[in-house]
């Protein structure tokens, strides 16, 4: 939406929702809220040529799915790839049958097949969705999208902007570079070349002058940890990884590993034409520019906390997990390809699974019981550790001062030890892994079982 278009229609918008918006899925099948068609599509990301991407509904960015807290949503997924896929709803506490992990929670969606997802989100916030098969390629080529759960009662922001952060592995002509290399998978992961927000380089978004703005950032990248900062001093962190924080705090800088999200709130400058810019380190991510008459907002709306059950820390069982390198010799498959295994959880590398071969869980938890996980990163690289099906509380770290907060993904730095706690209240077999995609594909993955 450019400035002229905005001015033309702004008088008709008594309440501004999402500016600019990402196209929603159109014409779903009867009885469904959304239909996602997974298929190859040429998209323009680079300046000099199209990219042969894999997309939802034929374009990038993917449709933003918007659901309502405590209300059911039905989504039909149609697989038009030449390989199986699934869809995982990252960060959502939903039944195991809807979690989208092949073999562990559902059969793969084979080429030409459909799968119907239906669930009721208990939490409001910023989430996202992606396949959980052939993840390096399917996510790397574009199968990533934002999932927004609106609060049961509208908190009253004047603009709600959704931004997916992704570094594309593409050349200037749009062709793909290598999505992964063994050398990089053994380290931090293979970096992309082109940093984008919603598929654009350093875009500008127009917001109402003097309005209360909610900026939702989702790291949908395979590899990169973003260091979010801004020279403006009045930006406030209001939610982390889909969960409002009890005491919103000013943005200094915030590290977002792959899979993580961040909601920022701010009062827009009062005069038309003023800007607010977000950076990754010292690189411009995107810019907001004000237009229209001053809305004269003075305070940010407060977000209600999500209904997360508090763990009993006095009776919680402590389970320790160490994330480290695998020093073993990697096996060679019958076709001559090396089965790279670089990473381990408690000295066990994930070796994949099939319908007939489900490995043992890393831990078996008793439903309704409180647990403390002690997470030790015994490597020099960042690991965003993600747990499916649950929201946990980050309690403490040996590397930083922690104000306890709720999340589904915790970023562990070099030699960092963190403690997280949660109630195992969602039965099923839940994936538990690093969200640097090359790390999970080369061993840094497993699952816990809640019975």
- Given pLDDT bands bounded at 50, 70 and 90, which one contains residue 338? confident
- Given pLDDT bands bounded at 50, 70 and 90, which one contains residue 232? confident
Residue 16: its pLDDT value, please? Answer: 33
Residue 9: its pLDDT value, please? Answer: 36
216 and 329 inside one domain: no
Residue 216, pLDDT > 70, answer yes
- Given pLDDT bands bounded at 50, 70 and 90, which one contains residue 14? very low
Residue 11, pLDDT > 60, answer no
Bridge partners of 39? 55
321 and 301 inside one domain: no
Last residue in a domain, options 243, 274, 305: 305
240 and 344 inside one domain: no
Run of H or E residues at 8: helix 3-10
Range of the domain at 421: 317-450
- Mean pLDDT score of the chain, rounded to an integer? 92
Calpha distance 69→123 (Å, rounded) = 6
Eight-class DSSP state of 223: S
Question: Which is more confident, 169 or 351?
Answer: 169
Tell whether 312 is covered by a domain: no
Tally of domains in the chain: 2
Tell whether 181 is covered by a domain: yes
Residue 80: its pLDDT value, please? Answer: 98
Annotate 361-428 with DSSP letters as a single string.
Answer: PSEEE-TT-EEEEEEEE-SSS-EEEEETT--EEEEEESSS----EEESEEEE-TT-EEEEEEE--S-E
pLDDT tens for each residue of 370-396: 999 999 999 999 999 999 999 999 999
- Given pLDDT bands bounded at 50, 70 and 90, which one contains residue 331? low
Residue 300: name the closest of 158, 433, 154, 150 by CA: 158
243 and 347 inside one domain: no
- The percent of residues in the chain predicted with pLDDT above 90, rounded, is 88
- Given pLDDT bands bounded at 50, 70 and 90, which one contains residue 5? very low
For residues 394 and 336, the answer to whether their CB atoms sit within 8 Å is no
The arithmetic mean of pLDDT across residues 203-228, rounded, is: 98
54 and 156 inside one domain: yes
**317-325 and 370-377: which strand pairing?**
parallel
pLDDT tens for each residue of 33-69: 999 999 999 999 999 999 999 999 999 999 999 999 9
340 and 299 inside one domain: no
Mention every residue, 6+ apart, whose C-beta is less than 8 A from residue 391.
Answer: 91, 93, 123, 243, 306, 308, 406, 407, 408, 422
Residue 263: its pLDDT value, please? Answer: 98
Calpha distance 374→421 (Å, rounded) = 9
Residue 309, pLDDT > 70, answer yes
Q: What does pTM read for this prediction?
A: 0.92
CATH number assigned to the domain comprising residue 232: 2.60.40.420
User: Which 3 state secondary structure label does DSSP give 224?
Assistant: coil
Annotate 40-100 with DSSP letters as a single string.
Answer: EEEEEEETTEEEEEEEETTBSSPPPEEEETTS-EEEEEEE-SSS-B--EEET----GGGS-
User: Which 3 state secondary structure label does DSSP give 430?
Assistant: strand
What does the chain come to in residues?
451
Residue 329, pLDDT > 80, answer no
Residue 27: its pLDDT value, please? Answer: 62
pLDDT tens for each residue of 253-305: 999 999 999 999 999 999 999 999 999 999 999 999 999 999 999 999 999 99
283 and 418 inside one domain: no
Question: In the structure encoding, which two tokens stand for residue 16, read together?
Answer: 């501004």
Calpha distance 423→269 (Å, rounded) = 42
Residue 19: its pLDDT value, please? Answer: 33
Question: In the structure encoding, which two tokens stand for residue 81, read together?
Answer: 């790839």
CA distances from 333 to 29, 327, 340, 385, 440 (A): 42, 19, 10, 29, 19
301 and 410 inside one domain: no
Last residue in a domain, options 280, 305, 330: 305
Q: Which contacts of 417-420 are long-range, i.e. CB under 8 A and separated by 24 or more positions?
A: 417/374, 417/375, 417/376, 417/377, 418/374, 418/375, 418/394, 419/372, 419/373, 419/374, 419/375, 419/394, 419/395, 420/372, 420/373, 420/375, 420/392, 420/393, 420/394, 420/395
- Given pLDDT bands bounded at 50, 70 and 90, which one contains residue 344? very high
Whether residue 20 has a cis bond before it, omega within 30° of 0: yes
For residues 189 and 439, the answer to whether their CB atoms sit within 8 Å is yes
Tell whether 130 is covered by a domain: yes
For residues 241 and 409, the answer to whether their CB atoms sit within 8 Å is yes
Residue 20, pLDDT > 70, answer no
The arithmetic mean of pLDDT across residues 96-101, rounded, is: 98
For residues 255 and 261, the answer to whether their CB atoms sit within 8 Å is no
Residue 12, pLDDT > 70, answer no
283 and 413 inside one domain: no
Tell whether 311 is covered by a domain: no
CA distances from 339 to 146, 326, 384 (A): 32, 13, 23
214 and 150 inside one domain: yes
User: Which 3 state secondary structure label does DSSP give 209?
Assistant: coil
Annotate 277-344 with DSSP letters as a single string.
Answer: EEEETTEEEEEEEEESS-----SPPPPPPP-PPPP-TTTPEEEEEEEEE--SPPPB-TTS-B----EE
Eight-class DSSP state of 141: T
The arithmetic mean of pLDDT across residues 179-193, rounded, is: 94
297 and 363 inside one domain: no
């Amino acid at each position: 939406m450019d400035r002229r278009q905005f001015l033309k229609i702004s008088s008709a918008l008594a309440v501004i929702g999402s500016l600019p918006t990402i196209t929603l899925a159109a014409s779903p099948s009867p009885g469904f809220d959304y239909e996602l068609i997974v298929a190859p599509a040429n998209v323009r990301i680079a300046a000099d040529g199209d990219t042969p991407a894999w997309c939802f509904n034929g374009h990038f960015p993917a449709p933003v799915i918007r659901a309502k807290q405590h209300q059911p949503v039905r989504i039909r997924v149609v697989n038009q790839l030449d390989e199986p896929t699934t869809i995982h709803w990252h960060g959502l506490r939903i039944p195991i049958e809807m979690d989208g992990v092949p073999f562990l929670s559902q059969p793969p969606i084979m080429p030409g097949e459909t799968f119907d997802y239906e669930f009721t989100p208990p939490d409001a916030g910023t989430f996202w969705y992606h396949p959980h098969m052939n993840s390096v390629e399917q996510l790397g080529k574009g199968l990533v999208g934002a999932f927004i759960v609106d609060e049961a009662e509208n908190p009253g922001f004047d603009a709600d902007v959704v931004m997916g952060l992704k570094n594309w592995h593409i050349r200037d002509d749009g062709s793909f570079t290598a999505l992964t290399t063994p050398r990089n998978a053994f380290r931090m992961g293979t970096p992309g070349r082109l940093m984008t927000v919603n598929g654009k380089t350093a875009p500008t978004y127009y917001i109402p002058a003097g309005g209360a703005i909610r900026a939702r950032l989702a790291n949908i990248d395979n590899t990169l940890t973003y260091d979010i900062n801004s020279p403006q001093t009045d930006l406030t962190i209001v939610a982390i990884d889909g969960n409002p924080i009890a005491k919103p705090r000013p943005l200094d800088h915030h590290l977002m590993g792959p899979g993580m999200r961040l909601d920022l709130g701010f009062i827009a400058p009062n005069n038309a034409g003023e800007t607010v810019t977000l950076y990754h380190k010292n690189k411009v991510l995107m810019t907001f520019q004000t237009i229209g008459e001053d809305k004269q907002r003075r305070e940010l709306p407060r977000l209600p906390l999500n209904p997360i059950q508090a763990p009993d820390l006095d009776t919680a069982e402590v389970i320790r997990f160490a994330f480290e390198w695998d020093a073993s010799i990697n096996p060679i498959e019958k076709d001559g390809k090396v089965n790279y295994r670089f990473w381990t959880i408690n000295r066990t590398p994930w070796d994949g699974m099939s319908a007939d071969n489900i490995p043992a869980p890393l831990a078996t938890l008793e439903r309704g019981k409180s647990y403390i996980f002690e997470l030790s990163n015994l490597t020099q690289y960042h690991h965003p550790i993600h747990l499916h099906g649950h929201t946990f509380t980050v309690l403490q770290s040996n590397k930083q001062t922690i104000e306890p907060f709720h999340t589904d993904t915790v970023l562990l730095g070099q030699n960092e030890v963190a403690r997280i706690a949660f109630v195992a209240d969602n039965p099923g077999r839940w994936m538990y892994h690093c969200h640097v995609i090359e790390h999970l594909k080369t061993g840094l993955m497993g699952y816990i079982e809640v019975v």
